[in-house]
Amino acid sequence: MAEDLADDVLRVENVSKRFGAVTALRDINLHLRKGEVLGLLGDNGAGKSTLMKIIAGFQNADSGRIVVKGEEVTFRDVDHARSLGIDCVYQDLALVNELDVVQNMFLKRELVSRPVPLLARRKMRRLTREALDQIGINIPRLDVPVARLSGGQRQAIAVARTVTSEADIILLDEPLAAMGAKEGAMILDLVQKLREEGNVSIIMIAHNYVHVLQSCDRVNLIQGGQITFDKPTPETSVEELNEIVVEEYRRARRAAHAD
């Protein structure tokens, strides 16, 4: 157990978050081991994205503790979380339609010249091209506004932006949502590659059980703002996950009927 604790790059302890009358997270506990890929499942509105935003420093928790690499932290802002190696691919991607591919890839981590801090566009373009090639994303032109790209291409850029950053704790909020089968497989392959290299730890939110069982070391299920299920992937199955979620749904319906 002590060994487990030391292995955790991230611990979320008793974190709660309310939005007015809605309780998005209630005393949630979650941990992420070094080099592990953790799959996070849950219904719409279960609180998955809220948890990611809190870990990424974008939103503040109402209460609870967050421990990053053994040290308790209270994030001041996104930059603070990023300086600790945490980076998030948000569900809404956080791309700026009016900026081009290169500018979006380097948004908030621009390279600038010296002594006059002007954007080092040529260098950023070269690095963008290299990064996209390395991952295997094919985007013919880098100088077009991302508004003109397809949903899948946009998602690929958002993922590439985070994966090629310095971050070693990577949060992926439904990275496959807009992807076709082939592009989705490419992202899963990318996650697989990172998993084999073992340098980064990943939390991946997905709705597809098969994807999660394929690409993750461990599965967490979040229901009503709490983790209700936590097992290594080899010990669970599509049937079991399905059973739990469907059971939950049936129970809720019976309760509604009883009222």
Partner 1 sequence: MTTDVDTPRPERQTGGSRAGSSLRRLLTLREGSIVVVTILAIVYFSVLNEHFMTTANLKNLLPYFAPFAILAVGEVMLMVAGEIDLSIGSVYLFTPFMFYEFHELGLSLVICLVASLLCAGAVGMLNGFLTAVVGISSFIVTLGTLLGVGGLTLIISNAAPVDMPGAEVTSKTVQVTHVVNGHKITLPEQVNSVGGFARVFGAGVYSELFWALLVVVVMHVVLTRSRWGMYTIAVGGNRHGAAEAGIKVRRIMIRNFILCAVLAGFVGILEATRASTVTPDTAGAAETMFRAVSAAVIGGTLLAGGEGTVIGALFGALFLGVLRDGLTLEGVSADYLDFILGIAILLAMCINVYVGRVRKGSGHG
Ligand X SMILES: Nc1ncnc2c1ncn2[C@@H]1O[C@H](COP(=O)(O)OP(=O)(O)OP(=O)(O)O)[C@@H](O)[C@H]1O
Sign, CA torsion 115/116/119/125: negative
Using CA atoms, how far apart are residues 232 and 213, in angstroms rounded to an integer?
Answer: 9
What is the DSSP secondary structure assignment for residue 78, as one 8-state letter?
H
Near Mg ion by CB under 5 A, which window of 85-93, 100-108, 175-183, 247-255?
85-93
Smallest gap from Cβ 206 to Mg ion, in A, equals: 11
Using CA atoms, how far apart are residues 247 and 91, in angstroms rounded to an integer?
Answer: 27
Which two tokens mark 109? 């981590």
Query: Residue from 117, 181, 197, 258 that binds partner 1 (CB under 8 A)?
Result: 117
Residue 22 touches ligand X, criterion: CB under 6 A? yes
- Residues between 35 and 74 with contacts to partner 1, criterion CB under 8 A: 53, 56, 58
Comparing every residue's Cβ against Mg ion, the nearest one is 49
C-beta of 98 vs 247, nearer to partner 1: 98
- Residues between 187 and 246 with contacts to ligand X, criterion CB under 6 A: none
Smallest gap from Cβ 25 to ligand X, in A, equals: 8
Which two tokens mark 44? 């719409």
- Residues between 25 and 64 with contacts to ligand X, criterion CB under 6 A: 42, 44-50
Near Mg ion by CB under 5 A, which window of 14-22, 26-34, 48-56, 223-231?
48-56
Q: How many CB atoms lie within 10 A of CB 122?
A: 10
Interface map 135-164 toward partner 1 (x if CB under 8 A): -----xx--x--xxxxx-------------
Q: Beta strand 201-205 with 37-42: parallel, antiparallel or unpaired? A: parallel
Which two tokens mark 113? 């010249």
Near Mg ion by CB under 5 A, which window of 27-35, 42-50, 177-185, 191-199?
42-50
Binding partner of residue 118 among Mg ion, ligand X, partner 1, none, CB cut-off 5 to 8 Å per kind: partner 1
**One-character DSSP codes across 21-52:** TEEEEEEEEEEEETT-EEEEEE-TTSSHHHHH
Residue 88 touches ligand X, criterion: CB under 6 A? no
Using CA atoms, how far apart are residues 136 and 154, in angstroms rounded to an integer?
Answer: 14
At residue 24, φ and ψ (nearest 5 deg) are -80, -40
C-beta of 58 vs 110, nearer to ligand X: 58
Report whether the peptide linkage leading into residue 115 is cis, meaning its omega lies within 30 degrees of zero. yes
Residue 91 touches Mg ion, criterion: CB under 5 A? yes
Residues at the contact surface with ligand X, assessed by CB under 6 A: 19, 22, 24, 42, 44-50, 91
